[in-house]
Amino acid sequence: MNGDLLHIQDLSVRFFTYQGVVRALEGVHLAVRRGEILGLVGETGCGKSVLARSILRLIADPPGRIMGGRILFKGRDMLTLPMKEMRRIRGNDISMIFQEPMTSLNPVFTVGNQMEEVVRLHQKVSRKAARRICVEMLEQVRMPDPESVLRKYPHELSGGMRQRVMIAMELSCRPDLLIADEPTTALDVTVQAQVLHILNELTRARGTSVLFITHDLGVVAHLCDRVAVMYAGKIVETAPVDALFRSPGHPYTRGLLAAVPSVDEDREVLASIPGVVPGLIDPPAGCRFHPRCPAARKECEHLEPAGVEVGKDHWVFCHAGRGKVKGER
């Protein structure tokens, strides 16, 4: 834990709905180290965004509720902090880029109004100084004619430009941790590559830790140092990126990698994982992946798997794993 900026321990989140209690996160353990980019991957609905919002305590109550666990940021438990302190941390120590920039930027205010408000709120500088910081940040994200952009409204910018504005805004206060929740999903491939390059360049130069949430394994391979794989509200594998792609340990991870198209392979039918993602109101007992798993054993149906170390810094939560169980010496 000494090198961890963020350490999540046994986090559980529920949503209380008319249909029943949704067990969105169950016993999640995750760490983001200082200066690293950690990728968090998994299918839509597996709990990635819920985890991101839980870190900043943005889960609406009702219907959601953090039921247990700890979220340690710089050694302090975020779940026990007063809300006034949390508001100070948001945007200052921890920033978040959301999936769709049009919903993050207010359509009735100019880009300059919104960027300057963030800078002045957290850095306590004059309006003139805030304007200068905004221009500098837009220049750093390769925005042409920053002064003109600051005078425009969000709808006057392209999707790629809006996302660059969000990156500039969230990095303007030099946060220690940046949470990026699928920030390039709505962008075309060429613009996505530009945005990822800017994000990587700026965060590496500043030593900013990043929790990068995505479903795109290609982006993970290009951008991240380590990766955590999530399935149905649980972390099933964590590993350095090279190790995960070279030797995936969990059957779900292997299924994800097998489903990625490759120009080097001549396949008429793409590989897929059989079955469907389970509902989280009544998830399967034991390992949540066992109904779809080709390597499922009897114990998978009723026992939750412990973390097993299958390589250096490579942990797999699977009964079929081999190696040192997490917590053992």
**DSSP per position, 34-91:** TT-EEEEE--TTSSHHHHHHHHTT---TTTEEEEEEEEEETTEEGGGS-HHHHHHHBT
Q: Per residue in 151-202, pLDDT tens?
A: 999 999 988 888 889 888 888 888 999 999 988 776 778 888 888 888 899 8
Confidence of residue 290 (pLDDT cuts 50, 70, 90): very high
Q: Are residues 86 and 38 in the same domain?
A: yes
Q: Which of 76-90, 138-152, 228-242, 311-325 shows the lowest per-residue confidence on average (mean pLDDT)? A: 311-325
Do 61 and 209 fall within a single domain? yes
Residues 6 or more apart from 119 whose CB is under 8 A from it?
125, 130, 133, 134, 172, 173
Together in a domain, 81 and 208 = yes
User: Could you list the residue range(s) of the whole structural domain that residue 250 is in?
Assistant: 4-93+175-325
Identify the burial level of 44 via C-beta atoms within 10 angstroms of its C-beta, where 0-12 means exposed, 13-18 middle and 19 or more buried.
exposed
Q: Give the residue from 146, 174, 202 where a domain finishes.
A: 174
Q: Which of 152, 174, 196 is the last residue of a domain?
A: 174
CA 137, CA 174: separation in Å to the nearest integer? 11
* Number of neighbours of residue 195 by Cβ within 10 angstroms: 24
Same domain, 224 and 77: yes
More confident residue, 122 or 329: 122
pLDDT in tens, 91-124: 889 999 887 666 778 899 999 999 999 888 888 8
CB atoms within 10 A of CB 328: 10
Tell me: do 198 and 315 sit in the same domain: yes
Categorize the per-residue pLDDT at 264 as very low, low, confident or very high, splitting at 50, 70 and 90. Answer: low
Q: Structure tokens of 243?
A: 């190790």
| 84-93, 188-197, 316-325 — most confident range | 84-93
Per-residue pLDDT averaged across 241-258, rounded? 93
Write down the pTM of the prediction.
0.90
What are the C-alpha distances in Å from 41 to residues 58, 116, 255, 257? 20, 33, 13, 11
Query: By the 8 A CB rule, do 218 and 47 touch?
Result: no
H or E stretch covering 21 = strand 21-33
> What is the number of structural domains in the chain?
2
- Claim to verify: residue 229 and residue 166 sit in the same structural domain: no
* Mean residue pLDDT across the chain: 88
Q: What is the CA radius of gyration of the chain?
A: 21
Residue 253 three-state SS: helix
Whether 159 and 241 map to the same domain: the answer is no
Instruction: Assign residue 253 the CATH number of its domain.
Output: 3.40.50.300
Distance CA 164, CA 32 (A): 24
Q: Are residues 111 and 189 in the same domain?
A: no
Residue 291 CB partners (closer than 8 Å, separation 6+): 275, 278, 284
| Residue that terminates a domain, selected from 148, 174, 200 | 174
Same structural domain for residues 188 and 287? yes
Query: CB of 250 within 8 A of CB of 237?
Result: yes
304 and 198 within one domain: yes
Whether residue 222 sits in one domain with residue 281: yes
Q: Do residues 179 and 167 both lie within one domain?
A: no
